[in-house]
Amino acid sequence: MRSLANIWFLGMKELRGLLRDPVMLVLIVYSFSFSVYTAATAMPETLNKAPIAIIDEDRSPLSFRIIDAFYPPFFLEPSLIDHAEMDARMDAGLDTFALNIPAEFQRDMLAGRNPAVQLNVDATRMSQAFTGTGYVSSIVSAEVQEFAQGYRAVPELPVTLVERARFNPELNPAWFGGIVQVINNVTMLSIILTGAALIREREHGTIEHLLVMPVTPFEIMTSKVLSMGLVVLVAASFSLAVVVQGLMEVPIEGSIALFLAGTALHLFATTALGIFLATLARSMPQFGMLLILVLLPLQMLSGGSTPRESMPEIVQFIMLGAPTTHFVMLAQAILFRGAGFALVWPQFLALILIGGLLFAYTLSHFRKTIGSLA
């Protein structure tokens, strides 16, 4: 009972310290509100308002028809330029696509000579370049075929393909982006808050005060893990309810309570990781550098941004030791596909094991760090 009381009072001290830190409070609010919304809506995966320029050397009804086929929202209104302007505009980043329709294009097409149309692409804009090339090719081919036929018609295929998009029937990238951003921010904030809490103790000299009090390293560490984990858990719940479901109107298929239970286990591991990084760093700038080295691989290779199946097998195997991999798997299964505990229990078990190992190892290292200060 005395140990629980010590953890309670130390945890309340951590929460009061967080309330007196306006920078951390702003970071928490931003990460689970504006950050979630902007990440989901500011970077669409589909082609949107791509700038295109067209060099029309033919000036025929067919070339005018092709020019008129490019319009918002996929493309901006085409800019009609000449050869001399094309390279300069692409070098300046004004155009992602430059379509060159050669002279006598319509005559050669009607004569069956298979004329070539050149498409120049600014491949530094990787997302638009990859998707937009297919759009441009389809648009030009469709306009040429309809012009040659003399009428607009949809060709009948021998097989009818019926699409049924499950879990995201609108194919809306914001549904995916908003939830993934919440998942990523849970990991980021849990590591930052616990690590910053320990470094703040060291910089303010209050860690020495704790050493002369009748508290153990286990109680000190547990209080930081529980208090900071609770803050992140409440913030994530607010973000899912208000920002994701309320503002963005993203449907949640599964149980929020089950997801929060998995989040709590994930926080048990990542908060311990944050304390471990703080024991290695001697100042907040050092902690920030360590955070970059650890956080980026955890988020990029856990399967949240890209499927794990597309990664090298050695990377997939190594990342099984990271709590973020199992957290992303259970979060996507619950929130996207409505999975129950019967399907995600292996991820729950993995988080318990990884969290226990991280906590035990960090506690051992934390004891040594406090012993050196004493």
Residue 163 in domain: no
**Is the pLDDT higher at 369 or at 234?**
234
**One domain for residues 129 and 216:** no
- pLDDT for the residue numbered 348: 95
| Number of domains making up the chain | 2
Task: Identify whether residues 343 and 368 lie together within a single domain.
Answer: yes
Q: Is residue 44 predicted with pLDDT exceeding 60?
A: no
**What are the tens digits of pLDDT across the range 3-40?**
888 888 888 988 888 888 888 899 999 989 888 888 88
Cβ-count burial of 127 within 10 angstroms (0-12 exposed, 13-18 middle, 19+ buried)?
Answer: middle
* Residues 32 and 66 occupy one common structural domain: no
Domain membership flag for residue 127: yes
Residue 56: which pLDDT band, with cuts at 50, 70 and 90?
very high
Q: How far apart are CA 112 and CA 124, in angstroms?
A: 36
Identify whether residues 109 and 229 lie together within a single domain.
no
Q: Are residues 136 and 82 in the same domain?
A: yes
pLDDT at residue number 105: 92
173 domain residue, yes or no: yes
Cα dihedral 335, 241, 230, 283 sign: positive
Range of the domain at 322: 2-42+168-373
Residue 373 has pLDDT above 70, yes or no: no
Is the same domain home to 105 and 183?
Answer: no
Does 157 reside within a domain? no
What is the residue type of 74? Answer: F
Statement to judge: residues 29 and 98 lie in one domain: no
Statement: residue 43 has pLDDT above 80: no
Q: Indicate the residue among 116, 149, 182 that finishes a domain.
A: 149
- In the structure, what pLDDT confidence band is assigned to residue 371 with cuts at 50, 70 and 90? low
Does 355 lie in the same domain as 220?
Answer: yes
- Asked if 75 and 196 sit in the same domain, the reply is no
Residues 268 and 350 in one domain: yes
Q: Which pLDDT score, from 0 to 100, does residue 131 have?
A: 84
Q: Report the CATH number at residue 85.
A: 3.40.1710.10
Same domain? For 257 and 361 the reply is yes
160 is a domain residue: no
Q: Which amino acid is at 258?
A: L
User: Of all residues in the chain, what percent carry a pLDDT higher than 70?
Assistant: 95
Per-residue confidence (pLDDT) for residue 155, from 0 to 100 = 66
pLDDT band at 154 (very low <50, low <70, confident <90, very high): low
Final residue of a domain: which of 85, 116, 149? Answer: 149
Q: Are residues 330 and 233 in the same domain?
A: yes
Q: How confident is the model at residue 267, as a pLDDT?
A: 95
Q: What pLDDT is recorded for position 318?
A: 92
47 within a domain of the structure (yes/no): no
Higher pLDDT, 94 or 165: 94
pLDDT digits (tens, 9 = 90+) for 273-328: 999 998 888 888 888 899 989 988 888 888 887 888 888 899 999 999 999 999 99
Considering the domain boundaries, does residue 141 fall inside one? yes
- Cα separation, 84 vs 93, whole angstroms: 15
pLDDT in tens, 106-153: 999 988 888 999 999 998 877 788 888 889 999 999 899 888 887 766
In which band, very low, low, confident or very high, does the pLDDT at 208 lie, cut at 50, 70 and 90? low
- pLDDT of the residue at 173: 75
Q: In the prediction, which pLDDT does 126 show? A: 76
Residue 155 lies in a domain: no
Strand partners, 75: 50
Tell me if the pTM is above 0.85: no
Residue ending a domain, among 88, 122, 149, is 149
Query: How far, in Å, CA of 298 to CA of 324, rounded?
Result: 6
pLDDT, mean over the chain: 87
Q: How many CB atoms lie within 10 A of CB 347?
A: 23
